């Protein structure tokens, strides 16, 4: 397992971490790679890394989850971030073939920040297939 550090500069944003996740995979390995975010107000998705689509993703999360008015806001005023991260999910698993992430043509690994700006971590593990 390797831990990556990720810095964000906005409350709700995405960061392309595809190359950094792929760099964890040893040469020649075939199996799976899992990227896991150990935070309750951030997540990770597989999606196209296109600026307009990334803005659209952020807009969808803002439209689906209101910024205010949640019970949890009484504690630390970030319920929206928790709810958005729940929609995103904390992990993705990608097949690995001969040391490379076997992503689709337009797929990228995107870290989704819902409560930034912050310094975050992502844990990346690689499991080699037997044989």
Tokens matching residue 35: 């990227």
> Where in the chain does DSSP place strands (E)?
2-7, 13-16, 31-36, 42-47, 91-97, 100-101, 108-113, 119-128
- If you classify domain 2-128 with CATH, what class do you get? mainly beta
Structural domain spans, the chain? 2-128
Place of tokens 């806001």: 73
Q: What is the mean pLDDT of the chain?
A: 95
- Residue 101 pLDDT: 98
CA distance 13 to 59: 10
The pLDDT confidence band at residue 72, using thresholds 50, 70 and 90, is confident
For the whole model, what pTM was predicted?
A: 0.95
CA dihedral 24, 26, 30, 35 (to 10 degrees): -10
pLDDT (tens digit per residue) in 84-117: 999 999 999 999 999 999 999 999 999 999 999 9
CA dihedral 44, 47, 53, 58 (to 10 degrees): -20
């Amino acid at each position: 397992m390797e831990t990556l550090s990720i810095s964000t500069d906005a409350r709700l944003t995405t960061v392309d971490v595809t190359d950094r996740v792929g760099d964890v995979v040893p040469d020649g390995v075939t199996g799976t790679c899992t990227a896991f975010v150990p935070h309750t107000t951030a997540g990770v998705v597989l999606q196209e890394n296109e600026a307009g689509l990334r803005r659209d993703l952020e807009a969808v999360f803002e439209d689906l989850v209101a910024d205010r008015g949640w019970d949890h806001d009484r504690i630390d005023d970030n319920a929206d971030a928790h709810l958005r991260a729940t929609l995103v999910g904390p992990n993705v698993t990608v097949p690995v073939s001969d040391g490379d992430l076997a992503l689709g043509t337009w797929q990228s690994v995107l870290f989704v920040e819902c409560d930034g700006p912050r310094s975050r971590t992502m844990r990346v593990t690689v499991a080699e297939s037997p044989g």
